[in-house]
């Protein structure tokens, strides 16, 4: 039986060795269709249920919190009760509503600004550092890899960047390491003196670039950068 993780490939049959990829000093079995394995499906389903329950609880909490936070500091409960029970003072109601909406919009704006700032820092610093630590150091490959991975980066309530994966949230650095050891391997700069193939040139931009997988894009970038940026001009914009 093949083990999913090995400390070393010593003693492993030569015919089996190509099925392992090294990452962080260990060797991981590369398996197609692992997400369809019954144990993985069961774990994913359980995670989705827990995630849904958590999201519902957070939504309920935030709704209650928002109601409390939206009340102005000088809110008068007695005055509000009188307005509800008697003939409403339209001017007072309009003013109260405007005050509540103003505070709500101000809080929302501050929150969104803080989140965007945290995400920008994660992309500018943490994502670049994680890619460089994983061996993606050639500037063109680094920029292309950043563009491919940036969309999935989120920032948690603790301010730390993470990526939502099929197996649950994963720290950004760990996600990048796993990506570089798998589908992002073509982006990794080979050691000096290696036998990596140079740019062969002569390729043209694919007819349907959106249908290309990550490994195909990486191979195109390595073999013919001009064709890559012709197919994905947005990669130059970041």
CA-angle at 200, arms to 218 and 208, nearest 5°: 45
Q: pLDDT (tens digit, 9 = 90+) per residue, 112-126?
A: 776 677 777 767 778
Of 226, 141, 130, whose CA–CA distance to 189 is shortest? 141
Tell me the whole-structure pTM to 2 decimals: 0.38
Decide which of 47 and 238 is more confident: 47
Residue 76 C-beta-side C-alpha neighbours within 13 Å: 9
Tokens of 121: 């820092």
Phi-psi region of 159 (alpha: psi -120 to 50; beta: other; left: phi over 0): left
Q: pLDDT (tens digit, 9 = 90+) per residue, 168-217?
A: 899 888 999 889 888 888 888 876 544 444 444 444 556 677 777 777 77
pLDDT for the residue numbered 89: 66
Whether pLDDT at 237 is above 60 = no
* Mean of pLDDT over the chain: 77
Helix axes 139-150, 172-181, angle to 10 degrees: 120
In Å, how far from its chain's centre is CA 190?
26
């Amino acid at each position: 039986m093949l083990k999913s993780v090995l400390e070393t490939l010593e003693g492993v049959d030569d015919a089996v060795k190509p099925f392992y990829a090294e990452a962080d000093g260990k060797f991981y079995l590369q398996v197609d269709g692992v997400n369809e394995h019954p144990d993985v499906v069961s774990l994913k389903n359980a995670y989705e249920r827990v995630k849904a329950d958590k999201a519902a609880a957070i939504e309920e909490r935030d709704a209650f919190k928002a109601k409390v936070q939206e009340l102005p500091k000088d809110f008068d409960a007695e005055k509000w009760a009188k307005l509800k029970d008697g003939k409403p003072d339209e001017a007072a109601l309009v003013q109260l509503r405007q005050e509540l909406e103003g505070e709500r919009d101000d809080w929302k704006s501050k929150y969104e600004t803080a989140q965007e700032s945290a995400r920008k820092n994660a992309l500018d610093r943490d994502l670049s550092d994680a890619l460089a630590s994983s061996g993606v150091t050639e500037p063109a490959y680094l920029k292309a890899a950043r563009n491919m991975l940036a969309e999935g980066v989120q920032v948690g309530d603790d301010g730390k960047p993470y990526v939502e994966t099929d197996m649950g949230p994963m720290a950004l650095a760990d996600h990048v390491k796993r990506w570089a050891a798998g589908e992002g391997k073509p982006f990794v700069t080979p050691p000096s003196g290696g036998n990596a193939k140079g740019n062969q040139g002569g390729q043209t931009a694919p007819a349907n670039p959106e249908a290309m997988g990550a490994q195909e894009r990486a191979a195109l970038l390595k073999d013919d950068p001009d064709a890559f940026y012709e197919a994905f001009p947005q990669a130059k914009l970041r």
